[in-house]
Amino acid sequence: MFGYIVPLKQELRMRELAQYNAYYCGLCASIGARFGQAARLTLNYDSTFLAMLLTGLSGGAAQPCIPRSCGYKPFQKKRLFAPDSDALRFSADFNVALAWYKLRDDWQDEKKASALAGKGLLRRAAKQVLADRPKMVSAVEAGIRELSVLERERCNILDAPADCFALLMRAAGKEAPLADVRMKPAFEALLYNIGKWVYLADAWEDRERDARTGAYNVFNVTGADAERAGFLMHYSIHEAIKAYELLDIAVNREILDNILYDGCAARTQKLLGGKHEQSV
């Protein structure tokens, strides 16, 4: 359920692409510094979007990226890393918390060996993020638990599981570091609607695999077709954009515009069988 909120790379200028990659690398470094090297395996594009969004709302001027070597690719030339910040640290914590509780849920419900192994790798990180951000972690845990109940009951209300995940995103976002508290309602509305889109996109992409394995998938249970799925996904992105346009973005505006206006639309079109390819 990760990695859907991405830019349409061919529409980014070179410096914008370099900036986006710097945030991806900076978030990876922040996860490693806070939780150890194994936790870096949980890194995903959705959390990179969150880090860039929070940076854009920080109210300060853009900080220059830092050239440094990558521990995973020590023999390659240095690359740019976004500097450490509250935005990166919160996004790193949210990334790890969501990964941990999703792995725990997968182990409890499906006894996946990969989930058990992942839990073992993240156990220390999960304890640390719980100690550092108990309210945010509580929101993630409650949301995943409620979502698991819907899945076990094989809920046949099409948008109920997506709404559950969306509420998780909004609740966790209440703990995000925002410089201007007046931005909170629009920020939380954006997280709610983008969270709904992520769940729907993931479920639609996985429906054939889930049908083979017998795993719960709301589209399989309800028999909803591509037209219905497309309506819900497009509506969720439309509502996310409406909230986004109420935000005062001081940094990363061009990249965030690309992600929400172009990247999510292209990903939706591709998932629904269109020809517009996503290049991430």
pLDDT digits (tens, 9 = 90+) for 175-231: 999 989 999 999 999 999 999 999 999 999 999 999 999 999 999 999 999 999 999
CATH for 9-271 is 1.10.600.10
CA dihedral 232, 220, 166, 11 (to 10 degrees): -60
Q: pTM (2 decimals)?
A: 0.91
Q: Compute the Cα dihedral for 184, 3, 261, 9 and give only its sign.
A: positive
For residue 70, the cross-strand partners are 73
Distances, alpha carbon 249 to alpha carbons 53, 62, 74, 122, in Å: 8, 11, 35, 33
Q: Which of 103-107, 140-144, 162-166, 262-266 has the weakest average pLDDT?
A: 103-107
User: Of all helices (H) and strands (E), which one includes residue 81?
Assistant: strand 79-81
User: How many other C-beta atoms can be found within 10 angstroms of the C-beta atom of residue 184?
Assistant: 14
The letter for the amino acid at 225 is: D
Question: Which residues, in sequence order, are CB contacts of 15 under 8 Å at separation 6+?
Answer: none
Q: Give pLDDT, residue 67.
A: 76
pLDDT digits (tens, 9 = 90+) for 236-274: 999 999 999 999 998 999 999 999 999 999 999 999 985
* Res. 116: pLDDT tops 50: yes
Q: Is 128 exposed, middle or buried (0-12, 13-18, 19+ CB in 10 A)?
A: middle
User: How many other C-beta atoms can be found within 10 angstroms of the C-beta atom of residue 241?
Assistant: 17
Tell me if 193 sits within 8 A of 239, measured CB to CB.
yes
Question: Which residues, in sequence order, are CB contacts of 134 under 8 Å at separation 6+?
Answer: none
Q: Where are the domains of the chain?
A: 9-271
Distances, alpha carbon 225 to alpha carbons 143, 198, 217, 267, in Å: 27, 18, 13, 17
Q: Is 138 exposed, middle or buried (0-12, 13-18, 19+ CB in 10 A)?
A: middle
